[in-house]
Amino acid sequence: MNAQKAHVLGAALAGLLLSSCGGEMPSAKAGGGATAPDFTLPSLDGKQVRLSDYKGNSVVLIDFWSTTCDPCMIEMPHLVDLYKKHKDRGFVVLAVSADGPESRAQVSSVVRSKDMVFPVLLDEETVVTARYNPKRELPFTVLISKDGSIVHKRGGYTAGDEKTLTVEVEKALAE
């Protein structure tokens, strides 16, 4: 392989690796239709939010993110727009913060600055993160149909991913 090809290949690989804060390559893969494990987490405003409360009524997007994850911050305005566009059709976003208890003030600040108008959940013990996202990729999104089955998963974020996610959300809402 000549030096120019090696440089191009190296740059492409670096771009893929940087698109995920978890250090793993992003994996755009469809869900296997498995039932989403139930969980209860406290929200930033002190309420307890249980995933199963949405079953049968809503399409749920769980977004695992962190205040220190640049791709998460780039993706967040797209998730806010997607939520605002489809919330009246039964679409819910649950933004699960992977930040620890020492970062709660920072989480609150980001929530305000990014206009995150959906529930922001605190997984300070990383129990839910470990169950859904064992590689701890960030951002990591899981789309759950109204019947509670996982229909789409994606780790990392690359510009343009929001288009695929929009299609998946609209397909789930139509079912």
Domain boundaries, the chain: 3-174
pLDDT value at position 132? 95
What's the CATH code, domain 3-174?
Answer: 3.40.30.10
pLDDT for residue 105: 87
Q: How far, in Å, CA of 80 to CA of 116, rounded?
A: 6
DSSP type of residue 159: T
Average pLDDT over residues 25-29: 34
Higher pLDDT, 23 or 174: 174
Q: Which pLDDT score, from 0 to 100, does residue 93 have?
A: 98
Q: Which of 77, 69, 66 is nearest to 123 (CA)?
A: 66
Do the beta carbons of residue 124 and residue 132 sit within 8 Å?
no
Residue 125, pLDDT score: 86
pTM of the shown model: 0.82
